[in-house]
Amino acid sequence: MYRSLVTVFAVLVCVFFLIAPVAAQQAPSSNPLDVVPDKMPFDIPYGTPISLERAQAAIAATVAEAKKHDWKMNVAVVDSGGNLVAFQRMDGAQLASIKISQHKARYAASFRRESKAYENAIQLDHYLYVMTLDGAIASRGGIPIIVGGKLIGAIGCSGGTGSQDEVACKAGVSIFK
């Protein structure tokens, strides 16, 4: 019995010395999600909600940009609470994009960032946990409208590729600068 215990102990010691160097070489990589920022990202204060007149002006600028490229877009503008203020569907724009444009605008207002940030989190950073967030959409073309450092609403475009939607939305947001 004593001999078998000694043999088992000797085997365990050998295994430890064989495995320990391998384990030491495989130190876990640092997880970027463990980084604690000094300041809260996307901490944009809410302002007075966008008026119908300003929402329609943003849509007009967006539609003008889309027409320059012969893109058929659905364009939605929401207030700072994500409530629809104005919407326009260009002739021939796909029907599915009606809800998508509104979804992108609501996302940009609710999360206080471009929908491209969510797309990047999945596509580039592989932060798959973000797919569990309610109300998110992983497609560019939703942009917050910030005036005087405050969020007053957001615009969402859909109907083209994500990059086309983004270009059109940026034209609408540009009237506020």
Q: C-alpha angle 165/146/133, rounded to 5°?
A: 65
State the sign of the Cα–Cα–Cα–Cα dihedral 121, 122, 124, 127.
positive
26 plus 90 within the same structural domain: no
Whether 13 is in a domain gets the answer yes
Domain count, the chain: 2
Whether 45 is in a domain gets the answer no
Q: What is the mean pLDDT of residues 67-72?
A: 98
Neighbours of 30 (CB within 10 A): 8
Q: What is the pLDDT of residues 153-168, one digit of tens each?
A: 999 999 999 999 999 9
Q: What is the mean pLDDT of residues 5-25?
A: 51
Q: What is the pLDDT of residues 73-130, one digit of tens each?
A: 999 999 999 999 999 999 999 999 999 999 999 999 999 999 999 988 888 988 888 8
Quote the domain boundaries for residue 23: 2-34
Q: Which of 3-17, 25-39, 44-58, 119-133 has the lowest mean pLDDT?
A: 3-17
Give percent of the chain above pLDDT 70.
84
Residue 17 reports pLDDT greater than 80:
no
CB 159 within 8 A of CB 140: no
pTM above 0.85, yes or no: no
pLDDT of residue 10: 52
